[in-house]
Structure 1
């Protein structure tokens, strides 16, 4: 089974970007949550695929996650948050390991390294969508601040999710799920459900959004068949937590979103190739892992926030 397209799903930081960014982009997307929606608010107990959804409508039969996710929505709406201004940047610092193998070759997991990104919030279409700096063994252009550019202007939207665009999305989970099914690109060999599950992870990754929108994304995720809980999972920093996960037989991949067992704050993510062609039944291969270490808003790209922030 050829699952290389999904395995190297482009990161949101790199829509139409030049080859300079292709190394970091091949790995796991950073499946993360806004810090404003995490402090003591998130409970993640998704059930194992006992709900059903219809891609065209987002219709769903309730599963055991529904009540918990409704409580998340209530808690999230009570959290104070400051909107991100148009001229500011969403800053995320993480530890990450990515697949550095050739496109159709075996997985080669690179060394753990530090990654900093600054996401532009301009409401107009832009060709420079952000900046990235990577530090550590094997990183291309280590410590250099690299602009992430597109050959044509990229508007705010599903491929460049600014705070303003995310805030404009419906907070009704069924309407949001319908929108996601209509706008999410499905890669060859990937199921529509997994594409949307991955897109939700990407859309809450390396962003900040209003808590009500965060709640809506996770209510929508609970309506996708096959989402379940893993009682113990480990992020790239070695922190243990519980995980929400979905495995896709079509693309032979599995994504995990990891949360602290006590505070329930988001920790990081892991992505796997599962038993496809040439693999033993039940085997899995890790091809990306991350740990979110800092998330905030800054006024200048290349600016690292003070250590006392957050």
Structure 2
């Protein structure tokens, strides 16, 4: 999506007020954080605008939704923001019910990562991915993913700088056609009632892949990793971090062909800084083993969590490992769990309701 920058002219009263107030601070935000903040604000604008129908989502994969990052706000201002959301989104067709207020982020013990078991762990994970029995979607069918998620809302408030606020854990359901041109997203409390369309004419890419596109990617780990680095050059905080994030985006709300899935894990193991974390927990409370990588600029560690016995993918977690943006180490700022991944016959249809719609 191309975003056009615009500036709203201030009234004289606002201008006078601005001159009387102290100059605002200029906290450093990384490129990732700027993009995430922009994505959230664009989402808010789209869902509160009085358009007759919600605008199509510009991207199929979920981005870390951020209300404010690196900017301290007062508790009163935060309460006002959510009250405003509740008022503007209440009632009417295609509107969003009152957005649930954020909650204090969980804090966990930071377990050190190690490369000692990286090769063997990745081979177990790749073998499990190769044996996955999820069927290939056929013409007219949809890939269905049901997840439990929570994302960062506010890094801290000036009323209590020790608290980081996140969205309450909630359900998110996505349907996508195999060519990526038709889709639907239902996320009660965060999207209009009944969901929004994900229909798109944008050509598939690593940043927004379809199942058909994924089938064209190389299954040799070295060739695959080379392509990932090439196509994500200049994005993210570092080439290694962006490569890891790109692979991670494919694990959550995509159905990846089995051979490619195995290749993705073997490619990820070659990214500098990837480690094994022996104990991690997904958003559904399931414990497992994780492949992890630290973003050196933002200070958080993204963990892909797998069942310790079957090595099936469970979900992901982002844990702050060093102080940044007012977020203390151990804080869980992103949390997901994949609850169902299936192929269904129609958009909005859920597994077990084949032929009935949903």
Q: TM-score, normalised by structure 1?
A: 0.71
In structure 2, how many angstroms separate the alpha carbons of the residues matched to 1:197 and 1:111?
26
Does residue 141 (structure 1) correspond to residue 192 (structure 2)? The answer is yes
User: 2-side partners of 1:8 and 1:233: how far apart?
Assistant: 28
* 1:130 alignment partner, one of 180, 183, 188: 183
1:93-242 correspondence runs (5 A): 93-101=146-154, 107-122=164-179, 126=181, 129-135=182-188, 138-142=189-193, 144-148=194-198, 153-184=201-232, 186-187=234-235, 190-242=237-289
Q: 1:113-134 CA distances to partner (integer Å, 9 max, x unpaired)?
A: 11111123226xx4xx521111
Q: CA deviation at 1:64?
A: 5.5
Q: How many residues are treated as equivalent by the alignment?
A: 262
Kindly tell me: are residues 173 and 3 of structure 1, through their superposed partners in 2, closer, same or farther at Cα, counting changes over 3 Å?
A: farther
Mapped partners of 2:174, 2:239: distance in 1 = 29
Q: Given the alignment, which residue of 26, 29, 36 partners 2:64?
A: 26
For residues 4 and 19 of structure 1, the distance between their equivalents in structure 2, rounded to whole angstroms, comes to 24
Q: Which residue of 2 aligns with 1:85?
A: 138
How well do the aligned residues superpose, as a CA RMSD in angstroms?
3.6
1:267 aligns with 2:325: no
Alignment partners' CA distance in 1, 2:284 and 2:298? 27
Which moves more between the two structures, 179-188 or 219-228?
179-188
* Cα gap change, 1:155 to 1:263, in 2 (>3 Å): same
1:282-297 mapped onto 2 (5 Å cutoff): 283-297=329-343
Alignment correspondent of 2:114: 48
User: Contact (CA 8 Å) 1:7, 1:273: kept in 2 or not?
Assistant: no
Cα deviation, 1:67-122, whole Å, max 9, x if unaligned, reads 554565556545555322243211000111112339x9995301111111112322
Unaligned runs of 5+ in 1: 29-46, 50-62
- Whichever structure has more helix as a proportion of its residues is 2
- Compute the displacement of 1:19 (Å): 3.5
Whole-Å separation in 1 of the counterparts to 2:281 and 2:128 = 26
Q: Is the CA contact 1:145–1:302 (under 8 Å) kept in the aligned structure 2?
A: no
Q: Is the 8 A contact 1:27 1:288 kept in 2?
A: no
Against the structure 1 CA distance between its residues 218 and 239, is the aligned structure 2 distance closer, same or farther, given a 3 Å change threshold? same
SS of residue matched to 2:154: coil
3-state SS of 1:168 partner = coil
Structure 2 equivalent of residue 60 of structure 1? none
Report which of the two has the higher share of strand. 1
TM-score using structure 2 length: 0.63
Judged with a 3 Å threshold, the aligned counterparts in structure 2 of structure 1 residues 285 and 132 are, in CA distance, closer, same or farther, namely same
Who is 2:295 aligned against? 248
Corresponding position of 2:106: none
Whether the 8 Å CA contact 2:147–2:338 is kept in 1: the answer is: yes
